[in-house]
């Protein structure tokens, strides 16, 4: 089982559901499939992408490098200086993925802001085990997507489209998370010290907080993770989302 792979696919699925500009410019799901197929023909596939991305020169490596190769990172932004491309990934590559998603949604400026936040808050004590991180981020994304009571039809269609050929064990884990009741306290309890910002960011990336239920969920999550209002608003700005608080 590779929950790291599933985490990336889930991030791509939510990007697809939201129709972020970079995703559309890369040809949508067909474009992603084509890139994955090209990797498969060269003996890689998503697993190979994960191995090779860490050695790629431009996209920061790790999970950020995978998004770069799929066209879902700041590298896809035209006219960007090399120093502004997807920032070097941290926390086992999770930082690169989050910066890449911010770049897909909010452009190069968003990616820089997100990487800056991650760099300032990074803790050497944070959990870096790929599978544990993958499981946590999947829970964070799924719970956020269910904050308004359901995974809507568009999100569900994107999940099926992207997740369809995943490992059966990965699918089973995701199905359990989708079926599980909301448990914010349980999620927060399992967040390792030093990964509070990453967990909140993954949650925000899964939704476009445009209703009261989602806003209240994010407010509760931020409070339970002890994130101050200014930091929360900075995360929203970096990911191209409206601020949660009026300061």
Tell me the pLDDT band of 65, cut-offs 50, 70 and 90. very low
In this predicted model, which residue has the larger pLDDT, 33 or 183? 183
To the nearest whole number, what is the mean pLDDT of the chain? Answer: 73
| pLDDT at residue number 37 | 56
Structure tokens at 167: 């490992």
247 has a pLDDT exceeding 60: yes
Mean pLDDT of 58-78: 42
Q: What pLDDT is stored for residue 34 in this prediction?
A: 62
Residue 60 contacts residue 88 (beta carbons within 8 Å): yes
Among 27-36, 54-63, 188-197, 211-220, where is mean pLDDT lowest?
Answer: 54-63
pLDDT grade for 199, boundaries at 50, 70 and 90: very high
Q: How many residues does the chain have?
A: 247
SS (H, E, C) the chain: CCHHHHHHHHHHHHHHHHCCHHHHHCCHHHHHHHHHHHHHHCCCHHHHHHHHHCCCCCCCCHHHHHHHHCCCCHHHCCCCCHHHCCCCCCHHHHHHHHHHHHHHHHHHHHHHHHHHHHHHHCCCCCCCCHHHHHHHHHHHHHHHHCCCCCCCHHHHHHHHHHHCCCCHHHHHHHHHHHHCCCCHHHHHHCCCCCCHHHHHHHHHHCCCCCCHHHHHHHHHHHHHCCCCHHHHHHHHHHCCCCCCCCC
Q: Which of 39, 21, 2, 218 is nearest to 129 (CA)?
A: 2
Residue 108 main-chain phi, psi, to 5 deg: -60, -40
- The pLDDT, as a whole number, for residue 136 is 93
Write down the domain spans for the chain.
3-238
Res. 21: pLDDT tops 70:
no
pLDDT for res 28: 61
pLDDT tens digits, 115-131: 788 777 776 555 567 78
**pLDDT interval class at 14 (50, 70, 90):** confident
The pLDDT of 181-193, averaged and rounded, is 95
Rounded Cα distance between 30 and 222, Å, is 36
User: What would the pLDDT profile of 229-241 be if each residue is shown by its tens digit?
Assistant: 999 999 999 988 9
Burial of 210 by CB count in 10 Å (0-12 exposed, 13-18 middle, 19+ buried)? exposed
Average pLDDT over residues 59-65: 41
Q: How far, in Å, are 8, 25, 88, 192 from residue 15 at the CA level?
A: 11, 12, 21, 26
Whether 209 shows a pLDDT value over 80: the answer reads: yes
Q: Examine the pLDDT at 140 and tell me if it is beyond 60.
A: yes
202 within 8 A of 141, measured Cβ to Cβ: yes
- Digit-coded pLDDT (tens) for 83-100: 333 333 334 467 777 776
What's residue 19's pLDDT?
64
| Mean pLDDT, range 157-180, rounded to an integer | 84
Tokens 């569900």 locate to 156
- By percentage, how much of the chain surpasses pLDDT 70? 64
Distance from CA of residue 39 to its chain's centroid?
A: 21
Return the residue matching tokens 């946590």.
136
Query: What's the pLDDT at 17?
Result: 76
């Amino acid at each position: 089982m590779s929950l790291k792979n599933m985490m990336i696919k889930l991030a791509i699925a939510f990007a697809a559901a939201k129709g972020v500009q970079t995703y559309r410019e890369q040809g949508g799901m067909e474009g992603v499939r084509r890139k994955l197929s090209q990797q498969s023909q060269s003996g890689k596939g998503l697993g190979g992408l994960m191995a090779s991305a860490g050695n790629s020169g431009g996209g920061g490596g790790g999970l950020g490098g995978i998004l770069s190769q799929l066209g879902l990172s700041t590298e896809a932004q035209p006219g960007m200086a090399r120093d502004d491309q997807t920032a070097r990934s941290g926390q086992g590559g999770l930082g690169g993925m989050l910066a890449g998603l911010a770049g897909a949604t909010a452009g190069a400026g968003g990616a820089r802001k997100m990487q800056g936040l991650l760099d300032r808050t990074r803790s050497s004590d944070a959990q870096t085990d790929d599978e544990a991180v993958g499981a946590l981020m999947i829970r964070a994304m799924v719970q956020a997507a269910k904050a308004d009571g359901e995974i809507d039809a568009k999100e569900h269609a994107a999940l099926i489209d992207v997740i369809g050929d995943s490992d059966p064990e990965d699918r089973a884990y995701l199905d359990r998370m989708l079926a599980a009741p909301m448990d914010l306290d349980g999620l927060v309890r399992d967040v390792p010290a030093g990964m509070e910002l990453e967990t909140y960011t993954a949650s925000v990336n899964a939704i476009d907080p445009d209703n009261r239920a989602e806003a209240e969920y994010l407010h509760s999550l931020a409070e339970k993770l002890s994130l101050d209002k200014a930091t929360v608003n900075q995360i929203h700005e970096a990911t191209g989302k409206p601020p949660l608080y009026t300061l």
